[in-house]
A and B are shown apart, each in its own frame.
Chain A
């Protein structure tokens, strides 16, 4: 897992498929094995049901039916390049929609932790471009157990977003499970 990613939006994979509304694109990433795998990036058409102006971004390998498989675990040769590519796609979308947020769901604890570590490790770089917030929503309820029951921690039900700060300390079991970001400053015309 890429916990030591160094985000660099100038070191990205080439986009091989793209939607003219920037709601979907695809690129070929290289795995440790040397094999190439096509990854899709998809931004939702509709906003998040509870977070105003936030549009969900999903990415992962494309399955045979064309949908994104966000559960598979891959060993990327260059995690930094994969995430930088996804982030550049999101940035291009935000350039066109400066009033919106793009959101990324930490669909499990490991992934949420990886995103959070990535944000913290690259905070000086990322905070120069984006405003980033974390959200914890019904976190105990969402982490559904294998038996189908939800363990709801009623002391930890928080739906407000919180700007992420450099070097903030947060316990792993209280970690955000959704991250949203938008461009930090007003768009400057060129």
Chain B
């Protein structure tokens, strides 16, 4: 990709951003912002978060021993 092409694409993106600022509304897509994220699904409860932390700690300790 040439620098000219790159700048052309970024310019188009800037125009999109400007258009949204000028003409955008309060349009929202409802729902939990992380509802589509698989990690967020896993850590929605305190128990799950604690389990993840335990796994991370266990894995870090294991890596440090190597």
Contacts and interface: CB of A to CB of B under 8 A. Distances in A.
Given A20-B20, A56-B36, A26 B14 contact: no
Contact of A26 (B27, B37, B42, B52): B27
Contacts of B24: 18-22
B1 A142 contact: no
Give the interface SS of chain B, mostly helix, strand, loop or mixed: helix
Contacts of B9: 9-10, 91, 129
A44 B34 contact: yes
B13 to A, nearest CB: 4
Q: Which range contains the number of A residues in contact with the other chain?
A: 35 or more
B36 A91 contact: no
Interface of A: 9-10, 15, 17-26, 40, 42, 44-46, 48-50, 56, 58, 62, 65-68, 70, 88-89, 91-96, 105, 107, 124-125, 128-129, 137-138, 141-142, 152, 154, 157, 159, 177-178, 183, 188, 190
Interface of B: 1, 5-14, 16-17, 19-21, 23-31, 33-43, 52, 55-56, 59
